[in-house]
Structure formats: structure tokens, C-alpha cells
Amino acid sequence: MIGLIRVFTAKDNEVLQAHGNMIQEQFEVPVMSRSIPDQPLGIYDDASEEAALPKIVELGIQMEQEGCRLLIVSCAADPGVRELRSRVSIPVIGAGSSAALVALSLGEPVGLMGITEGIPPVMKVLLDELIVGYSRPEGVTNTTDLMTEAGRQKALEGARSLVEKGAKAIVFACTGFSTIHFADVIRKELQVPVVDIVEAEGLMAANYYKQIISAS
């Protein structure tokens, strides 16, 4: 079983299972999703990330004890990934580094879309000179804002502006875009490739998980 950690406290089970369901359907691997407590707006700045870190580590340790063979921290900032790797005996994969590595393999100029003030550091370091721009949709300050019609419209405008700046592909720097299946919207409306961050973490996790299972 792959354990997937949501850093957004989801009261709606459909929302909680969204990332895991995407990975299960696309890569045919079992995923158990859990969310950390008391983070109704997810991680959107330094303070919210600091508050989330011990919760992520505690949940990851618990999920290993429950039998998970691999963990995913489903957040673009890779919060708690380093800390978890020092506390558990199973592999830990971060969403941000996964998406950045997939985008890096394209070797094309990319535009990143997120909800924080700037690009998550782990993604900025990996993509470096390939980045032509970053878009934070107007009025979107946390993941719940993306679930509104206004948030989606502003997000599409942001993606269009990145393409106009020369981006040959769009990279999600927030898993909230995956939750609302926004990659399909961009692909249809703008006809450009999209590195969906949940698809990217699923690709990395599924490949590693299948090797673990086949070797056991």
C-alpha cells in the first residue's frame, strides 16, 4: 500500500480521496489517503508550513506502522519530506520534486502555477533556467479558493499569460490544481502540455512501489 498524506484537512471524503484516486486509476497501485488535522486552508505560506510539519511527520510514522510501503507528501513544497526520511524506514516522495523532475526531463521552457507568493524552493532549484514565469491566480490565496468558479477563471488567465511569455509547458506548483482536474482544462483551451503534480508524484511512486513489491 502507498500512503498519501494530504496537507489540506479535508472534511469531504471525495476531496480527501481525490489525489489517491487519480494515482490508483492511472497507475493501478493501491493508495491509502489521510489528511493532517487542523489545516483547513492547507499550506499557503511559511507559517502554515511550519505548523504542518510535525503533523506530517506524525502521520507518516503512523502510516508506516499501519503497513504502508511507501509515502507520498502531496504538496508542492515537499513539506516534511526530509524530516520523514529520517524517521521512517520506507521511501518518501514529495510532489514538488516529482513534478519538477518530470518537467526537467522535457528540457523545454516552463511556466509554473501556484498559490504561494513565490515558486516552492525545491521546484525552483531543480528547474532553474527553464522557468519563464510564475503565476498565482488573482484572488487565490489558499487551495479552497481554487474550488470556486472565479478561482478557476483566474487560473486559466494565468496559464494563458505564461504561454504568452514563452512557456512550452505548464507545471503545477500546487496540488489544488490537480484536485479540480485543471490540467484537462488547460490542455483543451491552450493546447499545451501540462505537468500535473499529482500525476507526477504518482508516476514516481508507482514505479518505485512496483519494484518494492516485485522484490519482496
CATH code at position 45:
3.40.50.1860
Block residue for cell numbers 532553474: 128
Q: How confident is the model at residue 216 (pLDDT cuts 50, 70, 90)?
A: confident
Q: Does the pLDDT at position 197 exceed 70?
A: yes
What is the per-residue pLDDT for 72? 98
Q: Which of 54, 53, 107 is nearest to 75 (CA)?
A: 53
Cell matching residue 143: 487551495
Q: Which of 125, 110, 102 is nearest to 196 (CA)?
A: 102
Cell matching residue 108: 523545454
CB 125 within 8 A of CB 193: no
Q: Are residues 156 and 170 in the same domain?
A: yes
- Number of domains present in the structure of the chain: 2
* Residue 54 to residue 60: CA distance in whole angstroms: 10
Q: Are residues 205 and 191 in the same domain?
A: no
Q: Are residues 177 and 131 in the same domain?
A: yes
Range name among 42-56, 72-86, 99-113 with the lowest pLDDT average: 42-56
Q: How confident is the model at residue 44 (pLDDT cuts 50, 70, 90)?
A: confident
Q: Are residues 61 and 79 in the same domain?
A: yes
Pick the more confident residue, 216 or 49: 49
Q: How confident is the model at residue 142 (pLDDT cuts 50, 70, 90)?
A: low
Q: Does the pLDDT at position 148 exceed 80?
A: no
Q: Are residues 73 and 111 in the same domain?
A: no
What is the per-residue pLDDT for 152? 82
Q: Are residues 29 and 47 in the same domain?
A: yes
Q: Are residues 74 and 44 in the same domain?
A: yes
Q: Which of 97, 70, 83, 90 is nearest to 3 (CA)?
A: 70
Q: Are residues 48 and 80 in the same domain?
A: yes
Can you give the residue range of the structural domain that contains 183? 97-196
**pTM score above 0.75:** yes
Mean pLDDT of 157-179: 94
Mean pLDDT of 185-212: 95
Block residue for cell numbers 493546447: 191
What is the per-residue pLDDT for 170? 97
Q: Are residues 172 and 206 in the same domain?
A: no
Q: Are residues 190 and 204 in the same domain?
A: no
DSSP H or E stretch at residue 183: helix 182-190
Rg (CA), the chain: 16
Task: Summarize pLDDT for 87-133 with one digit per residue, the tens.
Answer: 999 999 999 999 999 999 999 999 999 988 889 999 999 999 999 99
N- to C-terminal Cα distance for the chain?
13
Q: Are residues 154 and 85 in the same domain?
A: no
Q: Are residues 184 and 102 in the same domain?
A: yes
* Residue 46 to residue 155: CA distance in whole angstroms: 22
For residue 199, the 8-state DSSP code is H
What is the per-residue pLDDT for 130? 97
* Residues contacting 89, CB < 8 A, separation 6+: 64
- Residue 30 C-alpha from the chain's centroid: 18
